[in-house]
Structure 1
């Protein structure tokens, strides 16, 4: 006697043979259902669609095959056709929960989540598989950002199936969003009383303790997760993070290193090992892991910046430039790289390149006051005074009446003999913060000695004169 799995394999083999030869074989409706379900599960939608079409040609009255047709329509966003077919089916089978599930699916596609929930509640009253429907209801509540109701529905899923880890993750997601960390711990502890070897629950309770900065309890929880499953990579990574918080850097290295043997090395683990060696003062080993990290994941900016920081501390600015250039070749839109590029070029007296780096930093959205000022001072240094004024005027859109900006504008306008503009900005700067007058003294020593400038400063210091 053939087992169900063997029968399904035979049906699939016959179906695919039929497609290759263009012959037409007969399958019963259940065989077609198994074939379609198989293709949907592995994501071969075109073959599922073909099987549905052939199935309906041989079994036009099969409700289950017509429901698969509804699913195809929804997948292709043919919602009206799906709706029409569902209405026909509902007239024939008002107690078929799948009809209401697909109606809910259509409502959800149209962002009508409340109506979707009402259809799913109807399906729930009809189904024998409550956990699946409860999960769908929970997802609709998530779409509505109703995390309390979503949490409750996912909890009900777990009552039906304690191994539904997808539901467990969703429960914790809701707790996190509602910032109910203590309640999450209580829930997980209750869950663990019934499932003491649930590595996922231990892992999740550890993450809750970590969020509450109760690192020793978090560490114990991750250890229990590892006892429950000694190949659980996520638990080792979280344990390592916790050990770092407890300043046990050698222990953290050990935890991260375990993950390298369990699977292909992750850039996260390599970076963290490098950071731990850095904390232990072994900079050469730290660099080795940072270099391995960028080999594994060239897009991880924290690794590239760690490498450049290493050489920056050693004042090896040429090596800094070499590595930041490599990083920029991989990701030329990374604002962190451009800021470092500018700083490094400045150290190497490559002032035009440094100015370009600061300009790209600003263009990519880093509008910190320091970036505007650094670029301005470089433009002043290379004699691009009008560009410096333009840069500062753009900065005023974000930092109005900032003394660092106003004093520089005053100095620039006086330097260019635009006396009235110089007076305006110097008076404004003195009014905002007179302590910053040192900016003009340092950047524009000739302007500082100007009699008009000295008089304006004196007038501010002694308004009665």
Structure 2
């Protein structure tokens, strides 16, 4: 909608910047000023754009395009009243200029008045020769309103007018995904590809839809066509690698990931996936080598550190596993799975305080599995923290009210704390649920299990 920058524009830009340095005043025609301003705005140099607009309007006070640039800057700086005032002036002169309506829509959008923005953009559609851009803007306004059906429709219209507007294509697929319309997305992409058989982006998106639908062979074919359309398309090689992994064709997956390393700077994701493939092939040393390349490429990628930790867990080298799990936890301290690994590794090393901390963090982060509660309780018992163990079991009981494992432990703890009434209460409940599991009392609380009253009660339920 605004003038494009070209070689003449480059010459004008050089002259303009030379003028700023020398304070000389040179003449530029209005189109040259328009190119200069457009260049600065596209490159985020707003202050220079403002200088060019000011000088441009001084030399060409009737230039509508320069005034529209002025309005754009006003809107950018949130001077909506100034922008609206200038727009109204332009409207009296050029009521059929679509840019006036587009900029009014921009103001409304910035003020969260999206329905009014839509009304302005629909007026712009009546006058603009470039309907694709306006349909795209309409799509965005409907997205702001969470009206994904209308947004999808307008992005489709945008794509009908400009089949190379890939941002519109991505937005269409985003709407399909949000609306959980996977089959419709696949149908739409196939129709689009019938008209545009060499659109690598559409093939790539179709492949991702098939992948999510677990139609791996179709996904593979789609990514192959994306690569045929553009053999430098890194994303297609990465996605193809993921499909080949699902199909357990690990050597082929490795080949595709390696192609991405040759096409551009290495990525931690590619190294990580290559490592996973080698691990699946039983090539543990090569897997470790690539996991280390992963964290070298991106030291903040927690999945790289966790993969190394898992490697050493598999090798029963828990000391090294602990070193690397600490790296992962430092990066993402809200990941339940990391804390569970942290707890298990410390438990294997008999670092009970740290193991207990790991299980406690897992529980705090919402991991309420029975195993977590039970293991933490047993560690607290070993540490002699009976009150804490009891609190743990009382909390566990809320989530697992029929778990005999919890009740036997609570019975033993109450006996230990000299509260026999509650001890017998929980022991009876546990025996009702699973009398054979009473051996747990002998393992964890042998001093309780030797009591005659306890043994007699157990015998009653084990008959």
Q: TM-score, normalising length from structure 2?
A: 0.89
CA distance in 1, matches of 2:84, 2:147: 27
8 A contact 1:18–1:24 mirrored in 2: yes
Deviation at 1:149, TM superposition (A): 2.1
Matched, 1:183 2:200: no
- Give the structure 2 partner of residue 137 of structure 1: 138
Deviation at 1:132, TM superposition (A): 0.4
8 A contact 2:98–2:127 mirrored in 1: yes
Deviation at 1:292, TM superposition (A): 1.0
- Give the structure 1 partner of residue 15 of structure 2: 14
CA distance in 1, matches of 2:40, 2:108: 25
Deviation at 1:387, TM superposition (A): 2.1
Could you say what the CA RMSD is over the residues aligned between the two structures, in angstroms? 2.8
Deviation at 1:455, TM superposition (A): 6.0
Matched, 1:360 2:366: no
Deviation at 1:240, TM superposition (A): 1.1
Change (3 A) 1:449 1:53: farther
Q: How many residues end up aligned between the 2 structures?
A: 460
Per mean C-alpha deviation after superposition, the further-off stretch among 117-126 and 57-66 is 57-66
- Counterparts in 2 of 1:192-341, with a 5 A limit? 192-341=193-342
Is there any run of 5+ residues in structure 2 with no aligned partner, and where? none
Deviation at 1:402, TM superposition (A): 4.8
CA distance in 2, matches of 1:246, 1:28: 63
Deviation at 1:236, TM superposition (A): 1.0
CA distance in 1, matches of 2:145, 2:24: 49
Deviation at 1:230, TM superposition (A): 1.1
Deviation at 1:195, TM superposition (A): 2.1
8 A contact 2:302–2:331 mirrored in 1: no
Change (3 A) 1:39 1:432: farther
CA distance in 1, matches of 2:436, 2:60: 88
8 A contact 2:5–2:38 mirrored in 1: no
Per mean C-alpha deviation after superposition, the further-off stretch among 416-425 and 37-46 is 416-425
8 A contact 1:298–1:330 mirrored in 2: no
Deviation at 1:346, TM superposition (A): 0.8
Q: After TM superposition, where is structure 1 displaced by more than 6 Å over at least 4 residues in a row?
A: 458-462
Is there any run of 5+ residues in structure 1 with no aligned partner, and where? none
8 A contact 2:5–2:39 mirrored in 1: no
Residue 96 of structure 2 aligns to a residue whose secondary structure is coil
Change (3 A) 1:109 1:425: farther
CA deviation map 1:312-361 (0-9, x unaligned): 11111122122223334555554433322221111111112212222333
Q: TM-score, normalising length from structure 1?
A: 0.89
CA deviation map 1:92-119 (0-9, x unaligned): 3321211211222222223332222111
Residue 179 of structure 1 aligns to a residue whose secondary structure is coil
CA deviation map 1:116-175 (0-9, x unaligned): 211111111110110000111111222223222222222222221221111222222222
- Give the structure 1 partner of residue 6 of structure 2: 5
- Give the structure 2 partner of residue 343 of structure 1: 344
